[in-house]
């Protein structure tokens, strides 16, 4: 009995140390942003490509109001409801944040005080962003109007309230590689960067496994809507027979080849895509058309 207890204590200690080790928050290297200076004009493109306003603008904000990043948007998921925080340049938002802080958040999902963010903030995609783009984005965010809206707590049940456990999620789900391995030409490389990293299209259009991570073997094949209502369509060549021109037109206007207009969460994605250059929308279409036919 005594031996058994001793064994149990050792096992618990070992398990605790392993959990502590596996769930440590990661940070960007201290010199990642050395010599990189941000340009707000270029940052605006990254802001729209990254869809920050879709989650961080007040719900139902339109046009200019989408630049006030007051938070409050509710994201319903099987784990509970996440409420996007204020990220405007104010005391309630990102006042005092450095580029390094923003880098830690976007690349590692780690907060300035060293805790894990929930992956409802799509850093699993943003982790591929370049330091230059993050510095540019920071410069742009600094120019936006402040809001003093206070953050609301997420509405989650146990055990999802324990942030430390997100470290395990990151171990299972943060994949450093690209899904489309061969990009070849520059337009495709740009498309891959816009879709897989900044635009985080896979976060909605790819199904998730039991951990809530993206099932990359079914990339862009469509998925149940996390809100529980309806399905998000597949956009890989196997699931969508639109031409590249159709896709570019849709991303600009929200109109499908059958003259339907886009609905659901795609409405705000299209409001963002309209701010990109035609070349960038074409690069996104080229990427989608280049995904393997067999999936
Ligand atoms: C799909 C919705 C979504 C999108 C898109 C999104 N975020 Fe967020 N973001 C969230 C959620 C939810 C949180 C809260 C995470 C948490 O509490 O762990 C968050 C947290 C943050 C934080 C931490 C704020 C704090 O107070 O600690 C920053 C910074 C941030 N987001 C910046 C951005 C930027 C910049 C973009 C665009 C490149 C962006 N987010 C796009 C949902 C989103
Ligand atoms: C927040 C979730 C979300 C994100 C992020 C998202 N989409 Fe969508 N997308 C949707 C939904 C929902 C629809 C269905 C719209 C409808 O019902 O009209 C859709 C529809 C589409 C369609 C039309 C498919 C069809 O058969 O009607 C295309 C093309 C598309 N998305 C491309 C993209 C691209 C490219 C990105 C990344 C830049 C992206 N989406 C990011 C949710 C999302």
The CATH number of the domain where 104 resides is what?
1.10.760.10
Domain boundary among 175, 202, 222: 175
The answer as to whether 192 is a domain residue is yes
In this structure, the answer to whether residues 246 and 231 fall within a common structural domain is yes
Q: How far is the CA of 266 from the centre of ligand 2 (A)?
A: 5
134 Cβ below 6 A of ligand 1:
no
The neighbour count for residue 255, using CB atoms within 10 Å, is 14
In this structure, the answer to whether residues 135 and 201 fall within a common structural domain is no
Q: How far is the CA of 84 from the centre of ligand 1 (A)?
A: 6
In this structure, the answer to whether residues 122 and 211 fall within a common structural domain is no
Domain boundary among 175, 192, 213: 175
In this structure, the answer to whether residues 159 and 39 fall within a common structural domain is yes
51 Cβ below 6 A of ligand 1:
yes
In this structure, the answer to whether residues 39 and 171 fall within a common structural domain is yes
In this structure, the answer to whether residues 139 and 214 fall within a common structural domain is no
> What is d(CA 282, CA 261) in angstroms, rounded to the nearest whole number?
20
Best residue for ligand 2 mutational test, from 196, 228, 233 (most atoms within 8 Å of Cβ):
233
> What is d(CA 133, CA 153) in angstroms, rounded to the nearest whole number?
30
The atom of ligand 1 lying closest to the CA of 111 is 27
**What pLDDT sits at residue 294?**
63
Q: Which residues of the chain have pLDDT under 50?
A: none
> What is d(CA 131, CA 107) in angstroms, rounded to the nearest whole number?
9
Range of the domain at 206: 177-295
Select from 63, 7, 59 the least CA-distant residue to 271.
Answer: 63
The β-bridge partners of 155 are: 81
In this structure, the answer to whether residues 46 and 124 fall within a common structural domain is yes
SS3 state of residue 255: strand
Angle between helices 244-253 and 266-273 (to 10 degrees): 100
The answer as to whether 15 is a domain residue is no
In this structure, the answer to whether residues 162 and 199 fall within a common structural domain is no
The answer as to whether 22 is a domain residue is no
**What is the total count of domains within the chain?**
2
> What is d(CA 215, CA 185) in angstroms, rounded to the nearest whole number?
26
> What is d(CA 45, CA 59) in angstroms, rounded to the nearest whole number?
22
**What pLDDT sits at residue 285?**
98
> What is the number of the ligand closest to the CA of 59?
1
Domain boundary among 147, 175, 203: 175
Residue carrying the six token digits 């960038």:
280
> What is the number of the ligand closest to the CA of 282?
2
- Name the pTM for this structure: 0.95
In this structure, the answer to whether residues 152 and 274 fall within a common structural domain is no
Q: Which residue's C-alpha comes closest to atom 17 of ligand 2?
A: 263
The answer as to whether 6 is a domain residue is no
The answer as to whether 27 is a domain residue is no
The answer as to whether 183 is a domain residue is yes
């Amino acid at each position: 009995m005594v031996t058994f207890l001793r064994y149990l204590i050792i096992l618990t200690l070992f398990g605790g140390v392993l959990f502590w080790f596996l769930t440590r928050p990661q940070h960007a290297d201290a010199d990642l942003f050395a010599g990189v200076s941000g340009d707000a004009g270029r940052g605006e493109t990254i802001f729209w490509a990254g869809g920050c306003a879709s989650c961080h603008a007040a719900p139902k904000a339109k046009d200019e109001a989408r630049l006030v990043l007051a938070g409050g948007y509710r994201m319903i998921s099987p784990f509970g409801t996440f409420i996007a925080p204020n990220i405007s340049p104010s005391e309630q938002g990102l006042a005092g944040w450095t580029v390094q802080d923003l880098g830690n958040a976007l690349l590692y999902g780690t907060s300035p005080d060293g805790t894990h963010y929930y992956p409802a903030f799509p850093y699993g995609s943003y982790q591929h962003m370049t330091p230059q783009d993050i510095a540019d984005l920071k410069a742009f965010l600094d120019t936006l109007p402040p809001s003093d809206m206070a953050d609301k707590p997420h509405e989650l049940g146990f055990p999802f309230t324990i942030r430390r456990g997100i470290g395990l999620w990151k171990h299972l789900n943060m994949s450093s590689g690209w899904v489309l391995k061969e990009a070849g030409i520059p337009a495709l490389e740009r498309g891959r960067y816009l879709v897989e990293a900044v635009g985080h299209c896979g976060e909605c259009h790819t199904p998730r496994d039991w951990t809530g991570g993206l099932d990359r073997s079914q990339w862009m094949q469509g998925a149940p809507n996390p809100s529980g209502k309806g399905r998000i369509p597949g956009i890989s060549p196997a699931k969508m027979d639109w031409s590249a021109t159709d896709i570019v037109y849709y991303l600009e206007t929200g109109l499908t080849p059958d003259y339907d207009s886009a609905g659901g969460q795609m409405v705000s994605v299209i409001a963002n895509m309209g701010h990109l250059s035609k070349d960038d929308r074409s690069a996104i279409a080229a990427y989608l058309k280049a995904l393997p036919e067999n999936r």
